[in-house]
Amino acid sequence: MSPVVLKAINAYTASMCLITFKFSPHTDTPLTMVANRDEFHARESLSAQFWQDKPDVLAGIDVQAGGTWMGVTTDGRFAAITNVRRLPSPHKGVISRGQLVADFLSQPQDCEQYLKTIHSQGHQYDGFNLLVGNREQCWYLSNHSTFGPQSLAPGLYGLSNAQLDTHWPKVEFAKQALGQWLQTPQGPALYTVLNNPQSYPKEQLPDTGIGEEWEELLSPAFIVSPAYGTRASTGLQIHHDRIEMQEASFNPQGELAELLSFEF
């Protein structure tokens, strides 16, 4: 594998790589979100936990670069990030993207104002898609877009490593799968919604500059390979009176290694 492609794949890690969510403010469940985190299995990280220095924050920890990829607070604020996969990249980040999620969760702040500040500093990060919100609002920002912070209307969304709702096959699958789950919430656990290892034909895949072999490897919603794959699947529901989160961790064979559940 060329050093350029390897660098791109390394840059591809340390963030959620597939997210689908239903934003429904002013209902009993303002947010339902499920996400898969894909990365090298050798990259050290800690499972979801309440942070010792910020006990109101529930999130995993990226030991290698700091920060996190997805989390929620006890008062219902949430944030999640994916990277933007593109070679050559117009950005050379000097700050870990995981810090964007950690900083939002670490202290109460206005969603729009936070993203306006990040928008002005976007060149300091590798490509990212950032979601932040609470029970009343959901906002999106990408530093690979000409748009600034966008307030999202109620609806069902999908996000991978391009712009929000880009028509990649696994994004379309993810939105359909969550939509079906929402019709039968007494069915399988939320975190299992994206557990689909199906790859897609080459003609349906994007060309992000990493080559056909890696495009195909990264095409499923749930990636299984010895060195790189889906490390965790997380289901999050923010109800009007409580929060539920489940996180499943997987080994390189795609087998369940750990299952954590939280309700508060």
Counted residue by residue, the chain has a size of 264
**Predicted pLDDT of residue 14:** 47
**Predicted pLDDT of residue 216:** 94
Q: Where are the alpha helices (DSSP H) in 37-86?
A: none
**Predicted pLDDT of residue 186:** 82
CA distances from 34 to 145, 190, 237, 240, 255 (A): 24, 7, 9, 18, 18
Pair 254, 230: CB distance under 8 Å = yes
Higher pLDDT, 2 or 243: 243
Please work out, in degrees rounded to the nearest 5, the angle formed at the alpha carbon of residue 235 by the alpha carbons of 139 and 161.
55
CA distances from 125 to 95, 118, 143 (A): 6, 10, 8
Predicted model pTM = 0.93
Pair 20, 157: CB distance under 8 Å = yes
Q: Does 25 sit behind a cis peptide bond, omega within 30 degrees of 0 on the bond before it? A: no
pLDDT-above-90 percentage for the chain: 84
| CATH code, 3-263 | 3.60.60.10
Give the residue carrying structure tokens 């056909």. Answer: 212
**Predicted pLDDT of residue 13:** 47
What average pLDDT does the chain have? 92
* pLDDT of 8 over the 60 cut: no
* pLDDT of 215 over the 60 cut: yes
Domain extent listing, the chain: 3-263
- Alpha carbon distance, N-terminus to C-terminus of the chain: 46
Q: What is the pLDDT of residues 87-128, one digit of tens each?
A: 776 666 688 999 999 999 999 999 999 999 999 998 899 999
User: Average pLDDT for residues 182-206, to the nearest whole number?
Assistant: 94
**Predicted pLDDT of residue 15:** 59
In angstroms, the CA 248 to CA 231 distance is 8
Provide the 3-class DSSP secondary structure of residue 7: helix
Higher pLDDT, 65 or 253: 253
Both tokens of residue 210?
A: 């990493």
* pLDDT of 26 over the 70 cut: yes
